[in-house]
A and B are shown apart, each in its own frame.
Chain A
Amino acid sequence: MIEVVAELSRGPVFLAGEALECVVTVTNPLPPTATSASSEALAWASAQIHCQFHASESRVALPPPDSSQPDVQPDSQTVFLPHRGERGQCILSTPPKILFCDLRLDPGESKSYSYSEVLPTEGPPSFRGQSVKYVYKLTIGCQRVNSPITLLRVPLRVLVLTGLQDVHFPQDEAVAPSSPFLEEDDSGKKDSWLAELAGERLMAATSCRSLHLYNISDGRGKVGTFGIFKSVYRLGEDVVGTLNLGEGTVACLQFSVSLQTEERVQPEYQRRRGTGVAPSVSHVTHARHQESCLHTTRTSFSLPIPLCSTPGFCTAIVSLKWRLHFEFVTSREPGLVLLPPLEQPEPATWTGPEQVPVDTFSWDLPIKVLPTSPTLVSYAAPGPSTSSITI
């Protein structure tokens, strides 16, 4: 019996382009003094990172996979296929790296090996949506001589920092300058340099503050003004907005604002059927604020962006976008009807009307959500950093 343990030193969340580091420890757990002690042998171990793509058949119409040309030996137990037994298709994988060959372990002996691989930048982020899923794993294959290959799977979460190309970097803003020492020493600190660069870009993109005001109107007049300081956020940040209802000519009784993602299958891959068409667009609400606001002059809300959610992205098959979804309930009556009369010649009891004719309307404001530090995400959602298997 041999025990194989894989440990991700920094947690299971990574930014595409970063190096993933994993320590694999192989142990013969028998105590050295055991009477039945014998050494154990392994032929080889290899590690590979891969991304599995799975699409809901009721929503996504994929081109039929070449059934006449299947994958080479998809179920083989003698060749290392990291996606063996996995659902969906493998859309991205790194080359296999051999950890060791011809390993012999005496009773009680342990050996550790280090695996390091840069996560490809051309892949999608990890995502578990309604229509599609992108799931990343590090898979370690081990084989004894003349035995099937045993697979040890380590789940990963990959964040992708794309979309920065269309974000305008503020020229005048004073953003923390990068350290010249880090830039010059490329080889030694390439990883921290990348993390630093990503951090700087995220800071620059999300720190641009200028008040954006939106007039909120329905068919009969102005309801109020919505103010928001940022349109680009990072995971974990709060979306803060203010509503000014004091100057409106239409009374607003109630409003709600939801932080949502919209998952949309690209037109060429949408499933179209005559009856029972599954929607190619689905929405998920991550946070919500609801308020009764009759007589409210000014109010604000704060909606947290969960660290476990997925930043916006776009692939050939699916896109994910973030937005603030507002719903307003407005009164059809002039505002004064809802107030007690100003002059009361004699004492009397006034009650509000039992029924008020209302209108509702909604409004969507798109925002952009970018990744944040993978270390921070690892802390917030502690997934397993250690996986093990016994051969």
Chain B
Amino acid sequence: MYTLLSGLYKYMFQKDEYCILILGLDNAGKTTFLEQSKTRFNKNYKGMSLSKITTTVGLNIGTVDVGKARLMFWDLGGQEELQSLWDKYYAECHGVIYVIDSTDEERLSESKEAFEKVVSSEALDGVPILVLANKQDVETCLSIPDIKTAFSDCTCKIGRRDCLTQACSALTGKGVREGIEWMVKCVVRNVHRPPRQRDIT
């Protein structure tokens, strides 16, 4: 009887844990997106000053609970020199969020090249990818169709996996919730990458 109740307890309270990489060029808004996500999905999380975010070197870690799923975000530094480290995290991840700076037209091709390397990696086969066109709060920013056109070369490389392009502003929070809820649905139903199961302790 104890075993039965213990099993029932674990079943009711266990969280499936998914690792989500946040990639993109430096200054695209990856860390701002992470902070905004924590603010929106974690009731007890104290907001932080978005103006204090500086260049990321290393790894920002954040955890977000959505329903029965727990998302572990790994926000990696986007400087060109640090991009060679991204692939070290591919094997363990369940989803990728690629952040684009919609106001930086000059570096759009650079961002496309980095994105192309990401989707070309075999270690990410079948992994859902959420493309965030960030900084949509800026009036002069590029629109979603403009960005899709710039990234059209990569369409054939996306292959058989879930992919969504979402307009967002990490600063204002617009589009953040929708993007994450989409990602949760995708990683949950992806049978090729089962979650890490952790009991709540």
Binding site for B on A (CB under 8 A): 43-44, 46, 66, 68-73, 76, 78-80, 93, 95-96, 98, 100-102, 141, 143, 145, 149
- Check A101–B84 contact: CB distance below 8 A: yes
Residues of B within 8 A of A70 (CB): 46, 48-49
Closest A residue to B51 by CB, please name it: A69
Interface of B is mostly: mixed
CA–CA, A69 to B60, complex, Å?
17
Q: A44-B85, A101-B82, A101-B85 are in contact. Are A72 and B59 (CB under 8 A)?
A: no
Residues of B within 8 A of A76 (CB): 60-61
Of the candidates A68, A69, A80, the one whose C-beta lies within 8 Å of that of B58 is A80
Q: Please provide the chain B residues from 44 to 71 with a CB less than 8 Å away from any CB of chain A in the complex.
A: 46-49, 52-61
Of the candidates A72, A79, A80, the one whose C-beta lies within 8 Å of that of B48 is A72
Would you call B122 an interface residue if the criterion is a C-beta within 8 Å of the partner chain's C-beta atoms? no
Shortest beta-carbon distance, B85 to chain A, in Å?
Answer: 6
CA–CA, A9 to B48, complex, Å?
39
- Check B82–A44 contact: CB distance below 8 A: yes
- Check B81–A78 contact: CB distance below 8 A: no
Closest B residue to A96 by CB, please name it: B57
Closest B residue to A98 by CB, please name it: B81
- Check B84–A80 contact: CB distance below 8 A: no
Of the candidates B47, B59, B82, B84, the one whose C-beta lies within 8 Å of that of A69 is B47
- Check B58–A66 contact: CB distance below 8 A: no
Q: How many A-B residue pairs have CB under 8 A?
A: 68
- Check B49–A66 contact: CB distance below 8 A: yes
- Check A141–B58 contact: CB distance below 8 A: yes
- Check B58–A79 contact: CB distance below 8 A: yes
Q: A98-B82, A101-B81, A102-B84 are in contact. Are A149 and B58 (CB under 8 A)?
A: yes
Residues of A within 8 A of B46 (CB): 68-70
Closest B residue to A46 by CB, please name it: B57
Q: Could you pull out 25 A-B pairs where Cβ atoms are within 8 angstroms?
A: A44-B58, A44-B82, A46-B57, A66-B49, A69-B48, A69-B49, A69-B52, A70-B46, A70-B49, A72-B31, A72-B48, A72-B52, A76-B60, A76-B61, A78-B60, A79-B57, A80-B57, A93-B54, A96-B55, A98-B57, A98-B81, A100-B81, A101-B81, A141-B57, A141-B58
Would you call B88 an interface residue if the criterion is a C-beta within 8 Å of the partner chain's C-beta atoms? yes
Residues of B within 8 A of A72 (CB): 31, 35, 48-49, 52-53, 60
Would you call B79 an interface residue if the criterion is a C-beta within 8 Å of the partner chain's C-beta atoms? yes
CA–CA, A98 to B58, complex, Å?
11
CA–CA, A100 to B88, complex, Å?
16
> 5 closest A-B pairs (Cβ-Cβ)?
A80-B57, A69-B49, A98-B81, A78-B59, A79-B58
Residues of B within 8 A of A98 (CB): 57, 79, 81-82
Residues of A within 8 A of B35 (CB): 72
Of the candidates A43, A71, A80, A95, the one whose C-beta lies within 8 Å of that of B52 is A71
- Check A73–B47 contact: CB distance below 8 A: no
- Check A102–B85 contact: CB distance below 8 A: yes
Shortest beta-carbon distance, B87 to chain A, in Å?
Answer: 10
Q: A69-B49, A70-B46, A101-B84 are in contact. Are A143 and B79 (CB under 8 A)?
A: no
Q: Please provide the chain B residues from 90 to 106 with a CB less than 8 Å away from any CB of chain A in the complex.
A: none
Residues of A within 8 A of B88 (CB): 43, 145
- Check A44–B57 contact: CB distance below 8 A: yes
Residues of A within 8 A of B61 (CB): 73, 76, 78
Closest B residue to A79 by CB, please name it: B58
Q: A71-B52, A98-B79 are in contact. Are A78 and B85 (CB under 8 A)?
A: no
Closest A residue to B61 by CB, please name it: A78
Closest B residue to A68 by CB, please name it: B46
Residues of B within 8 A of A141 (CB): 57-58
Residues of B within 8 A of A149 (CB): 58
- Check A79–B82 contact: CB distance below 8 A: no
CA–CA, A44 to B59, complex, Å?
11
